[in-house]
Amino acid sequence: MYALIRQYDGLDPTMRETATKKVNLELRPLLAKSPGFVSYELIQPEDKVDSVASISVFTTRTDAEASGKLAEDWIHSNLPSMSKPVKVAGELVAH
């Protein structure tokens, strides 16, 4: 399995709840339909009120990378104030 971790900055803290609902209602279902989907989680980093991080897990690197492009395009269209993400990706070695 392959995981993508992305941290986006630039989220207006007053819009966090709205943005989170939008991600759960729109982005998560899109990702869930993607080939190889295993899971998608959204995290609020404790030390950054204007950030959000996501963890996506897919069965293969190819599937994960395709979903990453889908997610980045969705974020750019729906939450344009957010920065390009800081990315970490790799094979899951323990789960």
pLDDT digits (tens, 9 = 90+) for 11-60: 887 877 888 888 899 999 999 999 999 999 999 888 888 888 999 999 99
Give the pLDDT of residue 68: 83
In this predicted structure, the answer to whether residue 83 has a pLDDT above a threshold of 80 is: no
Give the pLDDT of residue 75: 86
Question: At 56, which CATH number?
Answer: 3.30.70.100
Structural domain of 60: 2-91
Strand-strand pairing, 51-58 and 86-91: unpaired
The total number of structural domains that make up the chain = 1
Kindly indicate the confidence band of residue 85, based on its pLDDT and cuts at 50, 70 and 90.
confident
